[in-house]
Amino acid sequence: MDFNSIKFLFNTLKHLKFKQIAYRVLYVLRNRFVNKEYSYELKGSIEPLNWPNTIEQSTSYLGGLEFRFLNITHTFERKIDWNHDEFGKLWTYNLNYFDFLNQQCIEQTEALILMKDYVARTHELKDGLEPYPISLRGINWIKYMSKENIKNEVINRYLYNQYLRLLDNLEYHLLGNHLLENGFSLLFGAYYFKDDLLYSKAEKIIEEELKEQILQDGAHFELSPMYHQIILFRILDCIKLIKLNSWKNNYLLDFLEKKASIMISWLREVTFKSGDIPNVNDSAINIAPTSNDLFNYADQLGIIAKKLVLSDSGYRMFSNNKFELFVDVGNVGPSYQPGHVHSDTLSFILHVNNKPFLVDTGVSTYEKNKIRQDERSTTSHNTVVIDGQDQTQVWGGFRVAKRAYITKIKEDVDFVEAEHDGYKSLGVKHSRKFIINKTSINISDNIINNSSYNQTAYFHFHPSIVKITIDDQSIIVGNNITIVFTGTNVIMHEKLYDYAEEFNKIKKAIMVKVEFESNLETSIKL
């Protein structure tokens, strides 16, 4: 391993918490030398919870051993291979989550056949025995069995032993949303089995992690609007669980309601009028419940959103009756778990007349391949690339080495200006200022310190923009939108890029690159 590789690895590992490293070592050693069996016998019968329908899952089980996850459909012959890995780990994970138990149409007899098959073939499982799918599957099984008033001793015994396995493998080596999902699931398990051990661990994880993971402006600290929606959904489910099933005191309920209130506030601030979220970092549609579904769910539970201003999440939203401008002026976060981070500092998304215009290119895969690397790179975002390098070194699917940091920020109601040091190794910094007027947006890019490198600003248009005209130093889109550049060397109408609004679904769209020396003025006239 050469010096640069060692430096690269050091810049990745130095941000980890000691707890993450210690638990990773512990789990590796323990799993190598200890093979623990989970065969606890339940004492007494288990009564289903009070659990009416909540937000229904999208249809992913099509019947006849046919499943559709992440826009990929597969039919099994004779029996289900719960380890099926042809379409990547995330597809396999989804198969093992059992979200389909809570879709709109599934026959109880067929649901029970699938659950019993899973129980009978536990000895074959691989990914399904990891703590994350155990957590999501546990919630789904408890919801379904409670909703359908099913009492099944074999399934309940298996489910309880899965929770014992989860207790021994909590994701302290990862932290972030994974550990939170462990905690949420333990809470469902605690209420279902009336188990104090599960409850004490659930309460501890949920309280500690939500205090850390939910920022002051209400954002989830992984800064993915999609994961924010997922975590908020879990919190609302936990609130409903506690309200409908009296067992423990209301301390946790009050705590969860306060967190839900500020998370709803943040989600309202960043959701476009169309109902779409900004697909920044790892975000895609048709994975999490929609913002409107969550707002309605919160209303049903009597949760009142606390009005907050966007702040420490680093996101800003400017809007009027003509356009909505979403801007990223924040740091990589969280420092010790940046697995869903993209290299997109000072990027932006623009909607015009309630329709997407300039967009984030999205995410189509979690596989560790070139597509994943490209989708996380700086060139896939509406910001400036210097010398062809990423501002933040994203690698390995979910890894981050050197990071860009915001070093200065100024803002008011009609502008925001920020500077980052992602190119300090080149001896330069990038500053960008957004000035918002009623019918125009002015963007000023400034490369601080003289640079002999190539600077390029990227602009990614939504696939609905099928034609643009480049005229000298401007771009004309349709009949009424003009983008004028001052300070450019050359405008290059690039080949079409891959726009990923959903996993495994690509559309071709137009990207424009604008080269400049040290200063670029961009005026978007709407």
Domain boundaries, the chain: 18-300, 316-525
CA angle at residue 377 from 371 to 382, to 5 degrees? 115
Determine which helix (DSSP H) or strand (DSSP E) holds 511, and give its type and residue range.
strand 511-525
Query: β-strand 406-412 against 399-400: which pairing, if any?
Result: unpaired
Which residues have C-beta within 8 Å of that of residue 260, sequence separation ≥ 6? 232, 235, 236, 239, 298, 301, 303
| Residues ≥6 apart with Cβ < 8 Å to 480 | 526
CATH 3.40.50.720 correct for 18-300: no
pLDDT at 2 over 70: no
- The answer to which of 149-153, 488-492, 496-500 has the lowest mean pLDDT is 488-492
Whether the predicted pLDDT of 7 surpasses 80: no
How many CA atoms lie less than 13 Å away from 499 in the CB half-sphere?
23
For 257-281, how does the pLDDT look when each residue is reduced to its tens digit (9 = 90+)? 999 999 999 999 999 999 999 999 9
pLDDT of residue 3: 63
pLDDT of residue 46: 95
pLDDT of residue 479: 75
Report the CATH architecture of 316-525. Answer: Distorted Sandwich (2.70)
Tell me which H or E stretch contains 192.
Answer: helix 176-193
**Per-residue pLDDT tens for 347-403?**
999 999 999 999 999 999 999 999 999 999 999 999 999 999 999 999 999 999 999
Query: At 69, which helix (H) or strand (E)?
Result: strand 66-69
Closest CA to 136 of 170, 81, 98, 177: 98
| Rounded mean pLDDT, 12-30 | 89
Of the chain, the percentage scoring pLDDT greater than 70 comes to 99
Q: Running DSSP on this structure, what letter comes out for residue 306? A: P
Please, which residues have CB within 8 angstroms of residue 164's CB and are 6 or more apart in sequence?
A: 38, 40
Contact residues for 422 (Cβ-Cβ < 8 A; gap 6+) = 343, 345, 390, 391, 392, 402, 403, 404, 405, 430
CA distance 266 to 214: 10
CA distance 109 to 314: 49
In the predicted model, is pLDDT for residue 421 greater than 90? yes
- Greatest mean pLDDT range, 1-10, 56-65, 260-269: 260-269
At residue 445, φ and ψ (nearest 5 deg) are: -105, 130
* 500-509 average pLDDT score: 96
- Do 18-300 and 316-525 come out as alike in CATH topology? no
Residue 4 clears pLDDT 70, i.e. is over it: no
- List, for residues 136-154, the tens digit of each pLDDT value: 999 999 999 999 999 999 9
If DSSP codes are grouped into helix, strand and coil, which group holds residue 400? strand
Kindly report the average pLDDT of the chain as a whole number. 95
- Identify the helix (H) or strand (E) that includes residue 406: strand 406-412
Tell me, what DSSP letter sits at residue 399? Answer: E
> Would you give the distance in Å from CA 52 to the centre of its chain?
27
pLDDT tens digits along 452-482: 888 999 999 999 999 899 888 999 998 789 9
Listed residue (374, 369, 281, 368) closest to 332, CA to CA: 281
Nearest-angstrom CA–CA distance, 241 and 249: 13
Residues near 203 by Cβ (< 8 Å), separated by ≥ 6? 187, 252
Q: What mean pLDDT is predicted for residues 35-61?
A: 91
* Banded model confidence at residue 14, pLDDT cuts 50, 70, 90: confident
Q: How big is the CA angle at 53 (ends 52 and 58), to the nearest 5 degrees?
A: 160
Position 406 pLDDT exceeds 70: yes
